Amino acid sequence: MASLADDAAVEPTTPGRYRAHLSEDWSVWGPNGGYLAAVALRAAGHAAGGMLPVSLSCQFLAPPRYGEVEVEVSRVHGTRRAAAFHAVLRQRGRTVLAAHVWTIAGGLVGPERRWMPPPDLPAPEELPTLVDLMRRDGLPVLPIWEQCYEVRLSGWPAGGWTPQRDGVPTIRGWLRLHEPLPAGADPWLAAARLVFAVDVVQFPAIVQAFERTTFMAPSMDLYVGFQGAAGADAGEWLLVEGEAAAATGGMLGARARVWSDAGELLATGGQQMLYRMASPA
């Protein structure tokens, strides 16, 4: 099984520069956007030292290839309380992703409240897997679902998949990596898992509104805000919710939220995607 801890790892080469290897396991139309953003985030974590992740904002500038990628991280602002970093992924002399990462010092004191309760869902073991549902209804199964992560959805029609005609197209369910994070994972690796979860749940929400998915939606940007300790002790399962926002002018917009299995809000986010007709088979 694919391992986010290993496949999104970065290796320092010179001060401020890192090397990573993009694994083909994390493939959709190319390397998954959340996976790419996770690589950038972990490189920023190396540069940030003891600071903790607060937010990630990134732009996907060119489709990368699988294999080696270089990451350059620079500190663009900083105090003892907070610092911002800029991370750039380059491959074969071409910039493929640019990200800004805000960090904060640990141990700061402030209000402790969360105003977004999780949806009321059955436990993961009480729900069918997405792979089983797709196969039951004769729909194609992506290899990334079997190699990298598992999703258990709530609300899938018993009589087979049908588009969501009323209200905001939404998906809710549970997500876990097939290869769990190692025990005692650092906050930056835990945050990388949240980046992936926020990213991967948004396009499926948009799909709920359409009779057939005859299009692709490469990510143009991605924003993730981390709440608390970024889920370092969140458990194996994450409760995820994705909502479609709009489809207009060749653009697709969505947003997402992620909670721990105990109902603690861990991350919120959103992204814009570029509408593209799928190539004929």
Tens of pLDDT, residues 160-172: 778 887 899 999 9
Q: State pTM to two decimals.
A: 0.94
pLDDT at residue 281 greater than cutoff 60:
no
Which of the two residues, 159 and 91, has the higher pLDDT score?
A: 91
Over the chain, what is the mean pLDDT?
Answer: 92
Q: Is residue 114 one of the residues assigned to a domain?
A: no
pLDDT at 165: 79
**Tens digits of per-residue pLDDT, 27-56?**
988 899 999 999 999 999 999 999 999 999
pLDDT at 81: 93
CA torsion through residues 100, 105, 107, 113, sign: negative
Confidence of residue 219 (pLDDT cuts 50, 70, 90): very high
Parallel/antiparallel/unpaired status of strands 11-14 and 17-22: antiparallel
Burial of 177 (0-12, 13-18, 19+ CB in 10 A): buried
Total tally of structural domains belonging to the chain: 1
pLDDT at 270: 98
pLDDT at residue 279 greater than cutoff 70:
no
pLDDT at residue 280 greater than cutoff 70:
no
Confidence of residue 92 (pLDDT cuts 50, 70, 90): very high
Average pLDDT over residues 226-243: 83
In whole angstroms, give the CA distance from residue 220 to residue 58: 9
pLDDT at 229: 63
pLDDT at 47: 96
Confidence of residue 109 (pLDDT cuts 50, 70, 90): confident
pLDDT at residue 228 greater than cutoff 90:
no
Q: Is residue 96 one of the residues assigned to a domain?
A: yes
pLDDT at residue 235 greater than cutoff 80:
yes
Q: Which domain holds residue 171?
A: 4-106+121-277
Q: What is the CATH number of the domain that holds 68?
A: 2.40.160.210
pLDDT at 87: 98
Average pLDDT over residues 52-64: 96
Q: Is residue 38 one of the residues assigned to a domain?
A: yes
Q: Is residue 111 one of the residues assigned to a domain?
A: no
Average pLDDT over residues 151-180: 89
pLDDT at 243: 97
CA 182 from centre of chain: 18
Closest CA to 219 of 88, 32, 91: 32
Q: Is residue 148 one of the residues assigned to a domain?
A: yes
Q: Is residue 112 one of the residues assigned to a domain?
A: no
CA 108 from centre of chain: 27
Confidence of residue 231 (pLDDT cuts 50, 70, 90): low
Which of the two residues, 168 and 216, has the higher pLDDT score?
A: 168
Residue indicated by tokens 């270089």: 70
**Tens digits of per-residue pLDDT, 245-254?**
999 999 999 9
pLDDT at 230: 57
Q: Is residue 115 one of the residues assigned to a domain?
A: no
pLDDT at residue 159 greater than cutoff 90:
no
Q: Is residue 8 one of the residues assigned to a domain?
A: yes
Dihedral of CA atoms 54, 256, 32, 101 in degrees, nearest 10, equals: -20
